């Protein structure tokens, strides 16, 4: 339990209570001085490596024996950033640099009173992982196996960090499986993939409508100008449905090969030039982007990383479609 002030630190007189601005404060009647209780600043560091978080096992109260982020009090005469890096090195042996301030939280401790937790994201720049004097262990924990944390403010900051990185990690999961015939279900179900696929599904009719208007008038697709609109609409619908399934990991390369090889043969037998068939295909991709930009969906809802990922996955899909359609012509 935090000890209460009893004597004036200037004259040694007994402290009393006196109201100031409606708040009862410690007061020395001899010095006529108020003493203010301000929150103590506490710094914590989030250091991540390959989706593992650096934690330390406390060797002192409070919460002795529990795990927490590298955490400690800022001292007079040092910046808050310097305090965070100092505590990190003292407790873990790791040297680092501040990436950003992630979270600020208030906490009331039985031992210290009011605390102000500041959590920083830190990048390791050197050092060797070694437990310091204040802890018995220091190690990286996988995100899926994190132990209970000693401080609720640490948990709040770590939850915010994990949330901020989910889309980023999802992108690299999908890149890792880019050459797979089928994206693993766990990857296909992530929130990034769902949002990418939902964008196509919710705007499919508008995309097809704009594509039909373009393909039946564009100089690069002259042979489509008098083509049956219902047939074109079915083809457009099929392509967008395939793309949606591809984004969700439910449509593999073999099915793309079979469909577009057959489509290429059909367009060849119907007398279409290969250049016009490929141009018609590329116009669908054009109208996906055109509609997304018009609705501000790509920049506002998807963000930079997600826009990049949508472009990457669409490129793979349409490159495969183009390749196999050309194969159909060659056969």
Q: Give the active site residues.
A: 137
Q: What's the residue count for the chain?
A: 331
At residue 123, φ and ψ (nearest 5 deg) are -100, 130
What is 185-220 written as a DSSP string?
HHHHTSHHHHHHHHHHHHTHHHHHHHHHHHHTT-GG
Distance CA 57, CA 206 (A): 56
Beta bridge pairs of residue 213: none
Pairing status of strand 113-127 against strand 40-46: parallel
Residue 69's CB: how many other CB atoms inside 10 A?
29
Query: Closest Cα partner for 156 from 30, 68, 29, 35?
Result: 68
Beta bridge pairs of residue 170: none
Distance CA 51, CA 19 (A): 51
Query: Is the bond preceding 62 in cis, omega lying within 30 degrees of 0?
Result: yes
Q: Quick check: 58 and 66 in contact, CB under 8 A?
A: yes
Q: Which residues contact residue 270 at a Cβ distance below 8 angstroms, ignoring those fewer than 6 apart?
A: none
What is 37-65 written as a DSSP string?
--PEEEEEEE-EETTEEEEEEE-SSSSTT
Would you state the structure tokens that stand for residue 172, as one six-digit string? 């690299």
Beta bridge pairs of residue 109: 113
Query: Which residue has 């399934």 as its token pair?
Result: 245
């Amino acid at each position: 339990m935090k000890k209460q002030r009893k004597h004036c630190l200037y004259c040694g007189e007994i402290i009393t209570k006196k109201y100031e601005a409606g708040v009862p404060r410690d007061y020395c009647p001899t010095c006529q001085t108020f003493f203010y209780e301000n929150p103590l600043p506490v710094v914590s560091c989030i250091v991540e490596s390959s989706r593992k978080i650096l934690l330390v096992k406390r060797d002192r109260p409070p919460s002795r024996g529990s795990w927490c982020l590298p955490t400690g009090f800022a001292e007079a005469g040092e910046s808050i950033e310097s305090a965070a890096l100092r505590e990190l090195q003292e407790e873990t042996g790791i040297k680092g640099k501040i990436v950003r301030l992630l979270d600020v939280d208030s906490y009331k401790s039985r031992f210290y009173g009011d605390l102000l937790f500041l959590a920083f994201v830190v990048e390791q720049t050197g050092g060797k992982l070694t437990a310091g004097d204040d802890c018995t262990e220091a190690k990286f924990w996988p995100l899926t196996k994190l132990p209970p944390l000693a401080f609720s403010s640490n948990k709040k900051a770590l939850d915010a960090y994990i949330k901020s990185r989910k889309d980023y990690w999802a992108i690299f999961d999908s890149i890792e499986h880019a050459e797979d015939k089928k994206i693993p279900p766990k990857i296909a179900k992530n929130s990034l993939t769902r949002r990418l696929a939902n964008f196509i599904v919710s705007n499919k009719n508008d995309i097809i409508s704009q594509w039909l208007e373009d393909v039946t008038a564009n100089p690069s697709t002259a042979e489509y100008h008098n083509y049956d609109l219902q047939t074109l609409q079915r083809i457009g619908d099929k392509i967008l449905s395939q793309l949606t399934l591809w984004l969700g990991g439910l449509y593999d390369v073999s099915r793309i090969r079979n469909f577009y090889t057959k489509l290429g043969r059909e367009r060849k037998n119907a007398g279409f030039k290969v250049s016009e068939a490929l141009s018609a295909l590329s116009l669908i991709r054009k109208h996906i982007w055109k509609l997304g930009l018009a609705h501000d969906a790509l920049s506002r809802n998807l963000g930079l990383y997600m826009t990049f990922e949508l472009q990457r996955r669409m490129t793979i899909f349409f490159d495969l479609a183009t390749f196999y359609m050309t194969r159909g012509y060659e056969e």
